[in-house]
A and B are shown apart, each in its own frame.
Chain A
Amino acid sequence: MVKINGEERDLAGVTLADYLAGGGYDARRVAVERNEEIVPKSRYAQTVLADGDCIEIVNFVGGG
């Protein structure tokens, strides 16, 4: 299982690029962390999700 934004999902083997596109994310407007390391945008297509991965997908929101 892959933990994405706190939710366990069966996504092992899927590339990050495919997951983002399928999930309706705007890849230009998000940043991704895999196991506490930044995944550069240029590597989304080569990054294959694996069991045990912890993925955070974030964007900007209003804040102080």
Chain B
Amino acid sequence: MDHDKLILGGKEFTSRFILGSGKYSLKLIEAAVRDAGAQIITLAVRRANTKEQESILDYIPKGVTLLPNTSGARDANEAVRIARLARELGCGDFVKIEIMRDSKYLLPDNQETIKATEILAKEGFVVLPYMYPDLYAARALADAGAAAVMPLAAPIGSNKGLAAREFIQILIDEIDLPIIVDAGIGRPSQACEAMEMGAAAVMANTALATAGDLPLMAAAFRQAIEAGRAAYLSGLGRVLVRGGSASDPLTGFLRS
């Protein structure tokens, strides 16, 4: 397990838990990062407000890779602008592309996401596109230069779990890039299942932000993700189609 690394944009990570930083107090970020064991944290880019003197960057421990998202973008052009602004903020060239035109279900627009991925990958960004789990779109994202593909498990913020399980499995099986399950994961058991399926990492935000004890939930996710990864690497045992199979020897019974 020590040699089991997640590689994104040439950078090696031992943690496979990507932490969101939205919808909770800045003061909880340090404990969340620590208890999650997270090495990557997502951020958003918004219009600056001079009344807020505090910067989220002051709360993120050193050495954690920042993954700005392009939330708020409605098309590829806006996503590209937000990504460039994020890079200008001087915290690296990772970007999570997030393009949504639908305000009810907040579903990502795969076509615009492919366009933005192509432009930003050419500009040297490490592009992690958030997408609706569609095989053709995932192939196009890979061709466009994505460093990973981030399919949603369920509508963002819903905590509904692996609603798209079958389609995420297809991406894991067919796409030669890390598949990072993003959005909709509500419980550690669901994160564990995604990892057992062969996901490269799991991203969670709302599951933690809406939990009773955020750092404790961060720790629970960390353990679940590690357990799921170990299970995947070990190779899951087979499932019988029918009947049972004893775990005990079938000889030597106390019987005359």
Contact = CB atoms under 8 A, between A and B. Distances in A.
A64 B85 contact: no
Given A24-B50, A59-B89, A64-B203, 11 more contacts: A26-B53, A26-B55, A33-B85, A56-B47, A57-B47, A58-B47, A59-B46, A60-B66, A60-B68, A64-B20, A64-B157
B84 A5 contact: no
Contact of A64 (B46, B57, B206): B206
Q: Which 7 A-B pairs have the closest CB atoms?
A: A63-B44, A64-B205, A64-B20, A31-B88, A62-B21, A24-B50, A59-B48
Interface secondary structure of A, over-half rule: mixed
A38 B88 contact: yes
Given A62-B22, A64-B205, A57 B81 contact: no
Interface of B: 20-24, 26, 29, 42-48, 50, 53, 55-57, 66, 68-69, 71, 81-82, 84-86, 88-89, 91, 156-157, 183, 203, 205-206
Given A24-B50, A26-B55, A29-B57, A60 B84 contact: no
Interface of A: 5-6, 23-26, 29-33, 36, 38, 40-41, 56-64
Contact of B22 (A5, A41, A58, A63): A63
